[in-house]
Amino acid sequence: MDKIMMNQLEFYGYHGVYPEETKLGQRFYVDLIMEMDLSKSAKSDNLNDTIDYGAVHDLVKSIMEGEPRNLVETLAEEISSSLLNEFSFIENVTVKVVKPDPPIPGHYESVAVEIMRSRSV
């Protein structure tokens, strides 16, 4: 299966379970792997035969900068289901949501959740 990857999309959101997270907000990163057949678009050189990266970014931004969620798991699930619903070309999607510098005891560079979802047949 062919893949389109979008890496380290950066957003500022107010997600988390601690009061300071929902008040102050923080940066989040999203990585996407979208699997689909790219043979038609490779031959046609036409954007209508593939995924518009700008439209994908806008969809992910609306979730990441939208309604606060407690869990990054929820954000990843919303992104994956929205991508599969919005873009019929996508067969499988992997979504990774990274929360740099989480406010938990000890020093952690980041925490992340990665999920893989497929289109229902």
Residue from 43, 61, 96, 99 carrying the catalytic annotation = 99
User: How far from 41 is each of 26, 37, 69, 87, CA to CA, in Å?
Assistant: 37, 9, 36, 14
| Model confidence pLDDT, tens digit, residues 27-67 | 999 999 999 999 999 999 999 999 999 999 999 999 999 99
Give SS3 for 85.
helix
121 has a pLDDT exceeding 70: no
The structural domains of the chain, ordered by start, are 2-118 (3.30.1130.10)
How far is residue 35's CA from residue 37's CA, in Å, rounded to a whole number? 7
* Residue 40 bears catalytic tag: no
